[in-house]
Structure 1
């Protein structure tokens, strides 16, 4: 029987190459557009009006009629789209994997797992890109809820004022929905710009020479959660690009439980993702004679939606 040393010296080049895969940055789509699980392909939800933010003459004399407020709501039907991908694994690779297991290789390579992880990562990246495209589109926001930075107003400039900008945007949101935003989503470029910004560093101790941390930013900006979208995609010219571009999104994100029961009709969230319960899910692998391969598939039925366009604020061209 071969020793582990001999096995390593005679590694199969096909299997070894699969160990050298590429990683992926942090996905933040669901942090900004939380999942709202549903059983059917379409569901009707009630989007409430602004009655709860208005003042009324509620004073009542004995015997007089009580003030009655009619609640307006728009019943909107939300549907999901289906996304699916197949990853074929040639039977020769599975044969080599079985052989490596027989030889008791310490780092036994599970080809099936690699196939399924690949399929799920592809679906996740596609979802991330769709949410990023929706969340960084100025048309997704209410009037006055987009700030395009340029020149000296960029957060990467010495004269840039991200603390002032974000606190002002938070007040704009508060006056529109009655709640302060609790999430700040930063692209990789926005993170670099804001953590090294002169105004931000003026809030830090004189003894700190490095950039501001995310925990420090939460305090400085009065935001409960800050997430960074590091995910990338590679275009047709093999150039890596940031999924979230050069943007930042300040938003109010409601807490939604696993069954959707924790969301209130009075929660004016910026957006959410309709998703079929249990998705994404792995298809049952099957053998395809033509390609002499096992086909591993995954399916994801979902659709991100904007709910209240006044519940968020977009900063573009931050760096």
Structure 2
């Protein structure tokens, strides 16, 4: 965020630091959409294709022209979306908290807001990453009932290896991360062909880290976020990551706009930020305002692969045992 003297007065630097450092253990979207700062609220997405992995034959003779290299190209336009929440803290709670050591009501208010704001971001990231329309025909696969990973005769290890090779042939780099829904993770860790791989090495339950080693990936992450899409008291909880798994290449260090990646979350510099708390006399409460301007975007979808219907409806005799 570009600060001037007027805006700087209303920002709480301590609480802003808490907001920017906020991490929720069940948020995994950032593994596919790492945050990168942008200076403006709108512009053009920097996308990446085969040119990002081309051998440019940089060797030159004395006096010869130097070859020009450019990573990425300007793709679709973008405009950041602003999300903002006020969290009221009643005066009475503030008074009580001041008498209990270690209670920081401001931090709690910021964490409450960030819990909601990051859930919205997680849902948005998941919707983009699991939408088949965003992928080329060779970079997606809708598993049949017999191929679903909760079926004992399926072969998820071969499926993932084939998908990794397809991505490598599409863009020149292998995926390094796998994000899948909770049901898909349970199916993988109980799958007889995967259990067989580990039965002589450990008696413990198979973990995401163990699966990452099996698939030769840097990380396997489980999307556990759920949400209610509706105001009805009996509205069902929905899985943010649906019934899908996403393989992708994402840089693990020094993410930047010019670095090839499956996706990024464009974030306005200085966001999220927290305003100085203000008192609302009508509510007898202090209000903590948190604002977050960002937009998740696909920047190199050729470096991703989407599996859908990873957990299918099967007959009892064909299903992986609980």
TM more than 0.5: yes
Aligned pair in 2 of structure 1 residues 57, 33: CA closer, same or farther (>3 Å)?
A: closer
| 1:249 aligned residue | 246
- In the alignment, the residues of structure 1 paired with residue 198 and residue 128 of structure 2 have an alpha-carbon distance, to the nearest angstrom, of 34
Q: Deviations over 1:3-31 (max 9, x none)?
A: xxxxxxxxxxxxxxxxxxxxx75111111
SS at match of 1:144: helix
SS at match of 1:26: coil
SS at match of 2:184: helix
| 1:18 aligned residue | none
| 1:317 aligned residue | 309
Q: What's the CA shift for 1:221?
A: 1.0
Preserved contact between residue 25 and residue 232 of structure 1 (Cα < 8 Å): no
Q: Deviations over 1:124-180 (max 9, x none)?
A: 111111101111111121222222223221111111211010000001100000001
Q: Structure 1 stretch 211-220 or stretch 200-209: which is displaced more?
A: 200-209
| 1:6 aligned residue | none
Aligned pair in 2 of structure 1 residues 297, 56: CA closer, same or farther (>3 Å)?
A: closer
Q: TM-score by structure 1 length?
A: 0.78
Question: Alpha carbon RMSD of aligned pairs, Å?
Answer: 3.1
Q: Structure 1 stretch 232-241 or stretch 132-141: which is displaced more?
A: 232-241
Is residue 75 of structure 1 aligned with residue 74 of structure 2? yes
Preserved contact between residue 36 and residue 256 of structure 1 (Cα < 8 Å): no
The one of 135, 139, 156 equivalent to 1:141 is 135
The one of 165, 174, 189 equivalent to 1:195 is 189
Aligned pair in 2 of structure 1 residues 71, 220: CA closer, same or farther (>3 Å)?
A: same
Aligned pair in 2 of structure 1 residues 94, 274: CA closer, same or farther (>3 Å)?
A: same
Q: Deviations over 1:22-41 (max 9, x none)?
A: xx751111111111111221
- In the alignment, the residues of structure 2 paired with residue 282 and residue 218 of structure 1 have an alpha-carbon distance, to the nearest angstrom, of 37
Q: Map 1:165-180 to 2 at 5 A.
A: 165-180=159-174
- In the alignment, the residues of structure 2 paired with residue 111 and residue 238 of structure 1 have an alpha-carbon distance, to the nearest angstrom, of 31
Aligned pair in 2 of structure 1 residues 311, 198: CA closer, same or farther (>3 Å)?
A: same
Count of residues in Structure 1 that have an aligned counterpart in Structure 2: 281
SS at match of 2:162: helix
- In the alignment, the residues of structure 2 paired with residue 122 and residue 57 of structure 1 have an alpha-carbon distance, to the nearest angstrom, of 49
- In the alignment, the residues of structure 2 paired with residue 128 and residue 52 of structure 1 have an alpha-carbon distance, to the nearest angstrom, of 28
| 2:42 aligned residue | 42
Q: What's the CA shift for 1:297?
A: 1.1
Preserved contact between residue 152 and residue 160 of structure 1 (Cα < 8 Å): yes
| 1:298 aligned residue | 290
Is residue 125 of structure 1 aligned with residue 119 of structure 2? yes
- In the alignment, the residues of structure 2 paired with residue 32 and residue 70 of structure 1 have an alpha-carbon distance, to the nearest angstrom, of 26
Q: What's the CA shift for 1:232?
A: 2.0
Aligned pair in 2 of structure 1 residues 72, 131: CA closer, same or farther (>3 Å)?
A: closer
Is residue 94 of structure 1 aligned with residue 88 of structure 2? no
Q: Deviations over 1:196-229 (max 9, x none)?
A: 1112122223464554222321222111211122
Q: TM-score by structure 2 length?
A: 0.77
Structure 2 runs not aligned, ≥5 long? 1-23, 59-63, 312-322
Aligned pair in 2 of structure 1 residues 292, 142: CA closer, same or farther (>3 Å)?
A: same
Preserved contact between residue 36 and residue 275 of structure 1 (Cα < 8 Å): yes
Q: Deviations over 1:95-151 (max 9, x none)?
A: 3333xx1xxx46x54333221110111111111111011111111212222222232
Aligned pair in 2 of structure 1 residues 162, 69: CA closer, same or farther (>3 Å)?
A: same
The one of 205, 209, 214 equivalent to 2:199 is 205
Aligned pair in 2 of structure 1 residues 43, 110: CA closer, same or farther (>3 Å)?
A: same
